[in-house]
Amino acid sequence: MYDLAIIGAGWAGFNACIRAKELNLKVALIEKAEIGGTCLNLGCIPTKALIHSAKIFNLAKESSDFGVESVSPTLNFVKVTERKNRIIDNLRSGMRFMLKGVDLFNAEAKIISPCQVDIGGKIIETKSILLATGSSPLKLDQYKFDGKKIISSNEAISLRKIPSSLLIIGGGVIGCEFASLFSAFGTEVTIIEKMPRLLWGEDSDITGRLEASFRKKGIKINTGANRFDVSNGVNQDSFDFILVSVGRAPHGDIPGLGKIGVKLEKGRVITDNFLKTNIDNIYAAGDCTGGVMLAHFAGYQGRLAAENISGKIGLKKKNSSGIPNCIFTDPEVASVGLTQEKAVKEGIDVEVKKFDFMGLGAARILNEPQGLLKIVSDKKDNAVLGASIIGPKATEIIGILTLAVSCRLRVEDLRSAIFAHPTISEAISEALR
């Protein structure tokens, strides 16, 4: 008899497993594919490995700006891909090492009852079940995936050669990251987005700068696409590939789940604030629950679910505030909490502080002075409500502001902190002066 059977070894399931192991629970971890889920195998890690290679390639091309004269650099895409695969393999090996002491089953799971799981024909008994089955690329009827011409992000990270042209349907996080990546590799990129601007939901000042940077690099941007004509007048036949990146769909419909009465809504598992489903001993965490589909939030949910299942720490509600969003475009974009637009929409009387990276020494040193930082606070109590950044190291600097939002720090608390000089983080104190 297991204390906990976890279905899915992605970031939610893996983190839940490690936490459950720390709490001395007997755990069965079930994964039908590779451990690490989308994040390690098809998402966060491989895309960022490719993006970093693109960044290095760009820096090499601009080396003379730094006084480094070199022969015109060339890109070896085979080596780029090999490096990406090595990183995945190394991290996967590390995860397997951390799972020592856990029964890992490489098979598809079918739920027989709230206390029984069929794993490839073998039925195990368990006190609790955690569903952590992730998500998959959302499909469009107008552009059905064929794996050849019309591809998802799954295929995009495994292309064997750099396409000469790429049409991207969807200007959200995934679409913008791939646009930035392939443009750096020399691909002619066109983005089609149905909303009025890219990265809808991010601060408009930030997205405006990203669009300007993209256009300067030759990326064509076609926003405001008609929802009934996703192509927006663009001839799809003129592109090597069409990448459909319009979001992700939760994978909550696990074999046997509906039969035992677990509530689902459009494929997502319905949970309460403690991550429990309508069945007392069945919980769910990560992308399969819908909502915010970010690896770091999935990992947090997995750990929280394991603690709640164990009963050893006391029940804790999930906290959905203060979740950082990091977009690894060039330039990077990051945000946390409320944007200015969202705060105003909620009727909050806000104060907005900005700092342009043109006046930042570290940004000048890096030759990336086109950045901007915005901090949104509540005029009533000066609490920091949110922040948005575009520029170098934005995805790192947002960690400081995540802490500020999560701990409800006041503007004075941040203003009085001493930031090292010359660093990008100085933009925070400069904005608040």
Give the residue numbers annotated as catalytic, written as ranges.
Answer: 421
Query: What does the DSSP 8-state code read for residue 383?
Result: B
Name, in order, each residue with C-beta under 8 angstroms of 204's C-beta and a sequence gap of 6 or more.
197, 341
Does residue 210 sit in helix, strand or coil? Answer: helix
Does residue 180 sit in helix, strand or coil? Answer: helix
Q: What kind and span of H or E run contains 215? A: helix 204-216
User: Could you give the C-alpha distances from 21 to 99, 296, 433, in angstroms and in order?
Assistant: 9, 20, 47
Tokens of 186: 């020399």
Q: Report the DSSP pairing between strands 150-151 and 241-244.
A: parallel
389 dihedral zone (left: phi>0; alpha: psi -120 to 50; beta)? beta
Q: What kind and span of H or E run contains 214? A: helix 204-216
Name, in order, each residue with C-beta under 8 angstroms of 297's C-beta and a sequence gap of 6 or more.
320, 323
Nearest to 109 by CA among 125, 121, 126: 121
d(CA 259, CA 114): 10
Q: What kind and span of H or E run contains 192? A: strand 188-193
User: Could you give the C-alpha distances from 417 to 334, 378, 404, 420, in angstroms and in order?
Assistant: 21, 19, 12, 10
User: Could you give the C-alpha distances from 156 to 1, 109, 149, in angstroms and in order?
Assistant: 42, 28, 11
d(CA 18, CA 24): 10
Listing DSSP states for 305-366 in one string gives: HHHHHHTSS-------SS--EEE-SSS-EEEEE--HHHHHHTT--EEEEEEEGGG-HHHHHT
Contact 304, 316 (CB under 8 A): yes
Nearest to 405 by CA among 308, 341, 325: 325
Tokens of 276: 């429990």
Residue 430's CB is within 10 A of a number of other CB atoms, namely 17
Tokens of 221: 């941007």
